Chains A and B, each alone.
Chain A
Amino acid sequence: MGAGKVRIEVERSIQQSADEASRAIRSLLSQRRIYSLNLISSPGSGKTTMIEALLSRFEGKGGVAVVEGDIETDIDAERIRRCGVQVRQINTRSSCHIQPSQLLGVLREMDLSGTRLLIVENVGNLVCPAEVPLGEDARVVLLSVTEGDEKPLKYPLVFRTSDLLVITKTDLLPYVRFDVEKVRRAARAANPRVEIFETSAVSGAGLPALLDRIEALRAEKRFDP
């Protein structure tokens, strides 16, 4: 190196704040024995509708809390509020995904005594939410039958890192070209352990099975002290 040039060893993590926030979220939820879901999908796949449909079937829904994420508005939080469940809205404004620090801030403000299940509805986006974990117990990706059946190939990260895949709006199958078996195969190729559900919020088909599975996952969860 020439005169006046110095090399400085830094060895410093630059993801500290986001990693710390998601660890703090896990710790906060674990201490309270709350099981958490992170719902990820394109805009309009039916995340909010799925939450409404699950809540209407959920016994003891007083034990459910919801956090909604959108760029702007509290439209989704208002819908969930009408279901009689505690809900908060995060407006991410310039961010296309919920950031861990935002979720942590909201959770600290909520009364979570008696909460058993937290559902986080992420901003509609199949890309960035998959890249930014929120400390959730289970990640749920939704794909509606109107979105095309090649999406698991085009968006590998979200399908690879999701625990549950819910294929939504199945009542529309007679009207669209969507090969359910092709999606199932591609999703399993990306993630052999993914659990796949097919639902229609309009007809109710598939919702009891999904709800049962969520309840079972929550019951099986061993919370670290």
Chain B
Amino acid sequence: MHELGVANEVLSVVLAEAERHAAGKVTVVSLRVGVLRAIEPEHLSFLFAHLAHGTLADGARLEIEEEPVRLECDVCGVSEARSLPWECPRCKGSRITVKGGDSLEIASLEIDT
């Protein structure tokens, strides 16, 4: 439930970028959020909408792409997971390398000039 701090940071960056591009209005914000970040997308959207009220991002739609964890298993290769795995979800093998799932990025914006 730390979405409030995240929503604030997203809004700051969005407004800074909008100003840089002399935007009249921001219509879409595309975020990439890793599943390990424990962010609830609906809650984040709700808070963002609330904070954006009265700013250039008022009414902007938040599109959230959830980035899964990538697993490389010695036995059965590459797969994805939605939480931190202790073993390969396919073969239950324990020789796994876990990568990603922790991004928290603004990928792109759409603005009206």
Using a CB–CB cutoff of 8 Å, the interface residues on chain A facing chain B are 1, 4-15, 17-18, 95-97, 99, 127-128, 130-132, 156-157, 160-161, 191-193
Contact = CB atoms under 8 A, between A and B. Distances in A.
A142 to B, nearest CB: 20
B109 A128 contact: no
A102 to B, nearest CB: 12
Interface of B: 1-2, 5-6, 9-10, 13, 17, 21, 23-24, 27, 31, 37-38, 83-84, 86, 103-113
A73 B109 CA distance: 42
Contacts of A96: 1
Nearest to B11: A14
Given A10-B17, A14-B6, 16 more contacts: A4-B24, A7-B108, A8-B110, A9-B107, A11-B108, A12-B13, A12-B105, A14-B9, A14-B13, A15-B9, A96-B1, A131-B37, A157-B38, A160-B83, A161-B84, A192-B86
Contact of A131 (B23, B38, B108, B113): B38
Contacts of A193: 86
Among B21, B24, B110, residue most surrounded by chain A Cβ atoms (within 10 Å)? B110
Contacts, number: 79
Nearest to A95: B5
Question: 5 nearest interchain CB pairs?
Answer: A15-B104, A131-B38, A10-B106, A8-B109, A14-B9
A126 to B, nearest CB: 11
Given A6-B111, A8-B111, A191-B86, A132 B2 contact: yes
A31 to B, nearest CB: 25
A136 B38 CA distance: 18
The majority secondary structure among interface residues of chain B is mixed
Contact of A4 (B1, B106, B109, B113): B113
24 contacts: A4-B112, A5-B27, A6-B110, A6-B112, A8-B109, A8-B110, A9-B107, A9-B108, A10-B106, A10-B107, A10-B109, A11-B106, A12-B13, A12-B17, A12-B106, A13-B104, A14-B31, A14-B106, A15-B104, A95-B5, A131-B1, A131-B2, A161-B84, A192-B86
Contacts of B110: 1, 5-8
Contacts of B103: 13
Nearest to A156: B83
A4 to B, nearest CB: 5
